[in-house]
């Protein structure tokens, strides 16, 4: 069976992003890298959010120390990382846009709008790298995330022949 390419979305102007404060008892901050870094907390968050195996070494190589990753942001509550999003660059495929990726939250904190909160924090960095647009890749089954991206102003892109039918189905499945 051939694996289909991920769905793509684009936001043409990050200045349209909403400003929202974190819920009481939570704070949004840039993830740290170094001696006392956030790698373990991010590994736990990403493992649970994506039902995938993340450890501190993978977090460091894929996010905290990756040259294309501009910044990784977290939502923290009671000293625990409960949501994350990263912004990277891809000069070859998206020279005019930042790339939002690895947006996730602990399942125990689903439905609190943390994906939106941490995505906006990451996307605001686009101006620091000289772009006003952003793109992302997502999967058909990630309906809550897609709903969040739509609310932030992202629109579906149709870059593969399979996308039209798949986007039609995803949008029909939206609650």
Helix (H) or strand (E) holding 124: none
Pairing of strands 133-138, 94-105: parallel
Residue with tokens 């979305």: 9
Which of these, 122, 127, 66, lies nearest to 99 by C-alpha position? 122
Residue 99 and residue 62 in contact, taking contact as beta carbons nearer than 8 Å = no
Residues of the chain with pLDDT below 70 are 1-2
Whole-number Cα distances in Å, 33 to 37, 38, 53? 5, 7, 20
Q: What is the pLDDT of residue 2?
A: 63
Domain ranges of the chain: 7-14+23-173
Distance CA 133, CA 159 (A): 17
Q: What is the pLDDT of residue 133?
A: 96
Distance CA 113, CA 109 (A): 9
Task: Calculate helix-pair angle for 163-173, 143-152, nearest 10 degrees.
Answer: 90
Give the CA diameter of the chain: 47
Q: What is the pLDDT of residue 19?
A: 86
Residue 85 and residue 45 in contact, taking contact as beta carbons nearer than 8 Å = no
Length in residues, the chain? 175
Domain 7-14+23-173 superfamily per CATH: Gcn5-related N-acetyltransferase (GNAT) (3.40.630.30)
Distance CA 100, CA 90 (A): 11
Q: What is the pLDDT of residue 33?
A: 86
Q: Record the pTM.
A: 0.92
Residue 87 and residue 130 in contact, taking contact as beta carbons nearer than 8 Å = no
Q: What is the pLDDT of residue 122?
A: 96
């Amino acid at each position: 069976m051939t694996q289909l390419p991920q769905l793509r979305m684009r936001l043409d102007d990050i200045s349209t992003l909403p400003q929202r404060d974190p819920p009481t008892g939570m704070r949004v901050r840039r993830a740290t890298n170094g001696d006392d870094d956030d790698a373990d907390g991010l590994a736990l968050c990403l493992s649970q959010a994506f039902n995938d195996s993340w450890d501190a070494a993978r977090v460091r190589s894929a996010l905290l120390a990756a040259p294309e990753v501009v910044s990784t942001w977290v939502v923290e509550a009671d000293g625990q990382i409960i949501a994350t999003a990263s912004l990277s660059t891809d000069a070859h495929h998206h020279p005019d846009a930042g790339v939002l990726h690895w947006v996730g939250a602990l399942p125990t904190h689903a439905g609190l709008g943390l994906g939106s909160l941490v995505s906006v924090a990451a996307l605001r960095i686009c101006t620091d790298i000289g772009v006003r647009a952003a793109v992302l890749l997502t999967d058909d089954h990630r309906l809550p995330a897609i709903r969040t991206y739509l609310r932030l102003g992202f629109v579906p892109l149709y870059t593969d022949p399979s996308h039209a039918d798949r986007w039609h189905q995803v949008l029909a499945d939206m609650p």
